[in-house]
Amino acid sequence: MLDLKVFENRELAQKVLQAIRREAGRIEREVRLMHVCGTHEDTVTRSGIRSLLPENVKIVSGPGCPVCITPVEDIVKMQEIMRKAREEGEDIILTTFGDMYKIPTPKGSFSDLKSEGYDVRIVYSIYDTYRMAKENPDRLVVHFSPGFETTTAPAAGMLETAVDENLENFKIYSVHRLTPPAVEALVKQGTNFDGLIAPGHVSTIIGVKGWEYITREYGVPQVIAGFEPVDFLMGILLLLRMIRKGEAKIENEYTRAVRYEGNVKAQELIGKFFEVKDAKWRALGVIPESGLELRDEWKELDIQNLYPVDVPKLPDLEKGCLCGAVLRGMALPTDCKLFGKECTPRHPVGPCMVSYEGTCSIFYKYGALF
């Protein structure tokens, strides 16, 4: 059995760092490596990896926080659904994740909605929502459901269970998004990065094959990496070797969890309930074929069909907030004049400071380690 402590081993990390320095020394320019994962950012910042790298190797974070990129309009729309339902005599139980609960919008957060007397509850997973629906058969229970592929799979699983059990009071509001199309959009927009460290947990669902077209069509070197410090350092080393040799391929460092084909059962479940649509990402705009909506045959599971409401277009961010630039890999949180001053986890200005996967929140948490 593999001893996972090897991926936290200090001596091994130092050897990988030495190899990174050798490879970087053979590349006579700056190399920008992007990741699109909040857990990867936590590993990088908590471990002080940026401070250990050669000066010509830079790590930037992309749109790796599904809560951060959830459109303002969807959050507001769910609030309006709650109000409309109450006007019509239905007191909905709304569930969502802890970081989504406090995401700010021009019309307030779910936390603010709770303070108005609405039944808003924080859950750890969509299973908790399913359980509440079972325990409250006379109440409509709705999960405001964000997440990339990793979270979409269990959502699809719980939808199948609810259908099988004819649990009619269980609904969702899907704001699920797909990760590779966001990377593709960044490439098309000319975002400056030389290689991608792909997220391990997303890759357990979509497999190596889910990322292949990014390398094949756009020539982006990629490494799928795990979440321990040595995992990430190995990802850097493998990318530097490819870049030095002028190679564009995809390698799987996270072989202990990721297979080439991914989790086929999870893919089938997602495909059963969801269809791919163009979708807006907060601060990034509309990204083609990047969203997941419930298929027509499952529309009765969608709370939006039961209580249709319209909301106007709203500004994504407060003036001065650089969350959009952070999500594009164009800035670090410390480049923002609001960071750590007007914008803190207690009083967040933008979504990147709220979610535990948000780069600003992670930078604030670990302070000088970045």
Total residue length of the chain: 370
What is the chain's mean pLDDT, rounded?
95
Q: Is domain 1-312 classified as CATH 3.40.50.300?
A: no
Q: Which of 360, 278, 311, 334 is nearest to 99 (CA)?
A: 360
**Helix H segments across 247-306?**
264-273, 303-306
Strand partners, 173: 144
Q: Which single residue is written with the structure tokens 């802890």?
A: 98
Is the pLDDT at 219 greater than 50? The verdict is: yes
> What confidence tens digit (pLDDT) does each residue in 79-131 have?
999 999 999 999 999 999 999 999 999 999 999 999 999 999 999 999 999 99
Q: Which single residue is written with the structure tokens 């407060």?
A: 318
pLDDT recorded at residue 285: 95
pLDDT recorded at residue 367: 84
∠ CA(309), CA(310), CA(311), 5° rounding? 125
pLDDT recorded at residue 370: 46
> Can you read off the two tokens belonging to residue 199?
């997220």
pLDDT recorded at residue 3: 61
Report yes or no: 240 and 25 within 8 Å, Cβ to Cβ. no
Is the pLDDT at 368 greater than 80? The verdict is: no
> What confidence tens digit (pLDDT) does each residue in 35-80 have?
999 999 999 999 999 999 999 999 999 999 999 999 999 999 999 9
Give the CA-trace dihedral at 184, 189, 191, 197, to 10 degrees.
0
HSE toward the beta carbon, residue 119, CA cutoff 13 A: 15
Please state, as a whole number, how many other Cβ atoms lie within 10 Å of the Cβ of residue 4: 10
> What confidence tens digit (pLDDT) does each residue in 231-245 have?
999 999 999 999 999
Using 50, 70 and 90 to split pLDDT, how confident is the model at 9? confident
Q: Boundaries of CATH 3.40.50.11740 in the chain?
A: 1-312
Q: How far apart are CA 232 and CA 223, in angstroms?
A: 9
Is the pLDDT at 20 greater than 60? The verdict is: yes
Is the pLDDT at 4 greater than 90? The verdict is: no
> What confidence tens digit (pLDDT) does each residue in 138-155 have?
999 999 999 999 999 999
pLDDT recorded at residue 10: 84
Does residue 65 sit in helix, strand or coil?
coil
